[in-house]
Chains A and B, each alone.
Chain A
Amino acid sequence: MIRKLILLLLVTTPLFAEDPLYFIERIEVRNQKRVSPDVVIAESRLREGSEYSEADLRDAATRLGRLPFLLSVDFSLEKGAERGKHVLVLTVNETKPIFFLIDAVPYYEQNEPFIDVEYNDRSTGDDRNLVLGARWFLGRRGAAHIALEGVGNDRPVTREYAAFSIGYTQYDLFGTRAFATLNLKKPIEGRGEGLLSPQVVVGVPVSANQTITLQYDETRFGRETRRINGEDFDGHYSQRLFSARWSYNTTNEPFFPTSGTLVHVTPMVGTADGADVFYTFVCCEPPTFTAVAGPYHRDIRGVEAGATRYWELSERGSIFGDLRGEWTRVEQRTPVEGESYNETMHDIGLGVGYSWSLWSREERAGGGDSRLELVARFSSRDREPRDEFFQPQHDVRQVSAAWLRRTSWGTLRIGAGFAW
């Protein structure tokens, strides 16, 4: 196999050092209806008055292809005002201003028969798996959005919730090609009515394929009352996470890539505060517990990392392989004397998948896709100190099948899986 590939290398290795350079005197965005041309140009990371190789333009095309509000972008050159100068024309195909995202693959667990409707490997850095929203471009470099979103979060220390959100994104901050998003969320489900909670995301592209994304995400849930043994206990919960994500991304699509590489490392720190009910062991035979309500505080540190590689095998077929890991350290103080503890959790996973497009390349040329996907995953989860009763070390194997669809209106992944 390697011999074959090396043989192929002989005819695919560059033999020409002189990759043409193009002086771009102007960049024009065409066919746009709602998207701001300045935002498209900023996200391309290209600048008027500079010289670019085809590799630079290809990276820009790939980068624009990953924007959620563009279905496709075509690059072409036209003559500029003087000999040797060019106009770069970006012909875009936009998505609709109203959009949806549904990413739901319910798993049936063999050992604990229940349906887990959560699946999100966070490879894109986005925890959301249900979104219905609308986006408007404001001014030259701004965009506002409103959304109803479901955050499906399988981190061991944060919670799932649904929220209304309203936000604003400023692109090309101070002419640096960085962007910042301020999002205000109001949780409506998960822990009861919540309070207005801020989320700030700042993305700084450090090269055509590398981005550092800083995020502060606070979620304040509403108060809830739990009745235990005829006694009411008040509980409330809030969580805040600060993360710094480095990513290297050469994939060709924001949601369902078919080629390219995505590598990310995300260190994070956070806290979680609340009041809850804690149980202390009283007697062993029969085992009895007593409930104590009170505040608690958790300090959270962690790192998430992952690497995914996609290969196009044929006009319609694509495979991927990924490796990901999570390490989380929690230090918790509770109102129960002697119940404060430190806990470390590990999760390492491997996955492979195959997808096959129901559409021909010609049908996909204008953007959008319809694919069938088969995925197999293995993950090993453990924690220290071991809790053999409630949270023993366990390996999980998952297989799933799903239908993927991307249109100008939104993105859909629905399917079903089995875990054991």
Chain B
Amino acid sequence: MVTRGAVMMVLFALAVSLRAQQQRPAFTVQSGIVAATLPASVLQDKSVKKQLGSGLTTTFLLVARQRESGLVSGARIEVRYDLWDEVWIVRRVEFDGKTDRQRIASAEALEKWWRAPVRLFATGAARVALQLDLNVLPFSAAEEDDARQWITKAGGVGSGAGLVDALIGTTISAKPITSFRWNVDLSLR
């Protein structure tokens, strides 16, 4: 919802994308909150398309790193096609925990939903050099209780559950199907 206030649409593609042939995300800034609109070409990627058609959840994990300050934030999108109801069940969790869940009836509507901005982080900076990673994972990343509890009990990594969870969320999860990286410099004025 980019309607009122000081909404600025900006994009400077100064750095080279790892996938030049891919479309790039667009970014919007509203009240200091940076959001990304992901390109539809991600959904058309061969390996992503195959996973989306599997009837199992496809998880898109967005990790935004502000290169100068080192701050890390992110968001997660989950997409699953329900074979019996023939609808797409989608979830989007933004950086502040705001969640959007929907049942979408068609692939066209899915693409439209996909292109809604995903809020990534809040900042007061005038410029942000951003590295945005999108990892596509098979299966839901939501439930890995066994591994999480086991490692926490074993003290396998760190002492805080947060560290354990963060590592699990990004490493124990199934091997990524594919990944995308974009480097951009955002001017927020």
Chain A interface (Cβ < 8 Å from any Cβ of B): 2, 4-16, 19-20, 53-55, 57-59, 61-62, 65, 74-79, 83-84, 86, 207-209, 248, 250, 252, 258-261, 263, 307, 309-312, 315, 361-362, 365
Once A12-B61, A57-B56, A362-B47 are accepted as A-B contacts, the answer to whether A7 and B140 lie under 8 Å apart by CB is no
Residues of B within 8 A of A57 (CB): 56, 139
**B65 smallest CB distance to A (angstroms):** 9
Do the beta carbons of A12 and B169 come within 8 Å of each other? Answer: yes
Q: Is the CB of B165 within 8 A of A9?
A: yes
In the complex, chain A residues whose CB is within 8 Å of the CB of B144: 55, 58
Residues of B within 8 A of A12 (CB): 61, 74, 76, 141, 165-166, 169-170
Across the interface, name the chain A residue whose C-beta is closest to B76: A11
From A2, A75, A84, A307, B84 is in contact (CB under 8 Å) with: A84
Within 94-127 of B, Cβ neighbours of A (below 8 Å) are at 94-97, 99, 101
Cβ-neighbour of B72 out of A8, A258, A362, A365 (below 8 A): A8
Instruction: Identify which of residues 117-171 in chain B touch chain A, using a CB-to-CB cut-off of 8 Å.
Output: 138-147, 150-151, 154, 156-158, 160, 162-163, 165-167, 169-171
Q: Nearest CB to that of A59 among chain B residues?
A: B146
State whether A19 and B143 are in contact (beta carbons under 8 Å apart), knowing that A9-B165, A12-B166 are contacts in the complex.
yes
In chain B, residues 36-91, which have Cβ atoms closer than 8 Å to a Cβ of chain A? 47, 50, 53-57, 61-63, 70-76, 80, 83-84, 89, 91
Q: Across the interface, which residues of A come within 8 angstroms of B160, CB to CB? A: 2, 6
Chain A residues in 8 Å Cβ range of B74: 8, 11-12
Option from B57, B61, B96, B166 in Cβ contact (under 8 Å) with A20: B57
> Which residues on the B side are within 8 Å of A13 (C-beta)?
165, 169
Report A302 CB to chain B, min CB distance, Å. Answer: 22
Given known A-B contacts A54-B140, A55-B146, A250-B172, A8 and B166 have beta carbons under 8 A apart: yes
B139: chain A residues within 8 A (beta carbon): 54-55, 57-58, 61, 75
A76's partner among B55, B101, B166 (CB-CB below 8 A) is B55
> In whole angstroms, what is the CA distance A208 to B146 when docked?
10
Between A and B, 25 residue pairs with Cβ closer than 8 Å are: A2-B160, A2-B162, A8-B170, A10-B95, A11-B62, A12-B141, A12-B165, A15-B97, A16-B101, A20-B57, A54-B56, A54-B140, A54-B142, A54-B143, A55-B145, A58-B138, A58-B174, A61-B139, A65-B175, A76-B56, A79-B84, A207-B146, A252-B175, A259-B171, A307-B156
Contacts of A307 in B (CB 8 A): 156
Q: Which residue from chain B places its CB closest to the CB of A364 in the assembled complex?
A: B175
Given A2-B162, A4-B70, A58-B144, 20 other A-B contacts at CB below 8 A?
Answer: A2-B158, A4-B72, A5-B163, A6-B166, A7-B73, A8-B74, A8-B170, A9-B165, A11-B74, A11-B93, A12-B165, A12-B169, A15-B93, A19-B142, A55-B145, A55-B146, A75-B139, A76-B55, A86-B55, A252-B175
Nearest A residue to B86 by beta-carbon distance? A79
CB contacts (< 8 Å) of B176 on chain A: these are 312, 315, 361
- Is there contact, CB below 8 Å, between A315 and B94? no
CB pair A76–B96 under 8 Å, yes or no, is no
Cα separation A238 to B63 with both chains bound (whole Å):
57
Report the minimal beta-carbon distance from A191 to chain B, rounded to whole angstroms: 40
- Which residue of A is nearest B166, CB measured? A5
Chain B contacts of A252 at CB under 8 A? 174-175
Q: Smallest distance from the beta carbon of B82 to chain A beta carbons, Å?
A: 8
Given the interface contacts A11-B73, A12-B169, does A54 sit within 8 Å of B57 by beta carbon? yes
Within the complex, what minimum Cβ distance (angstroms) separates B37 from chain A? 17
Residues of chain B within 8 A (CB-CB) of A61 are 138-139, 174
* Alpha-carbon gap, A5 to B157, bound state (A): 13
Closest chain A residue, CB of each to CB of B70: A4
Chain A residues contacting B99 (CB-CB under 8 Å) are 15-16
* Nearest CB of chain B from residue A67's CB, rounded to whole Å: 15
Across-interface contacts of B154 in A (CB, < 8 A): 263
**Contact between A209 and B170 (Cβ–Cβ < 8 Å)?**
no
List B contacts of A8 (CB < 8 A).
63, 72-74, 166, 169-170
Instruction: Compute how far the CA of A179 lies from the CA of B77 in the bound complex, rounded to whole angstroms.
Output: 39
Q: How far is the CB of A225 from chain B (nearest CB, A)?
A: 52
Residues of B within 8 A of A62 (CB): 174
Is B91's CB under 8 angstroms from A16's CB? Answer: yes
B138: A residues at CB distance < 8 A? 58, 61, 75
How far, in angstroms, from A86 to B82 measured CA to CA in the complex?
Answer: 11
How distant is the Cα of A7 from the Cα of B71 in the complex, in angstroms? Answer: 9
A9 touches B166 (CB 8 A): yes
A184, B150: Cα distance in complex, Å: 38
* A11 to chain B: closest residue by CB: B74
Contact of B75 among A11, A77, A258 (CB under 8 A): A11
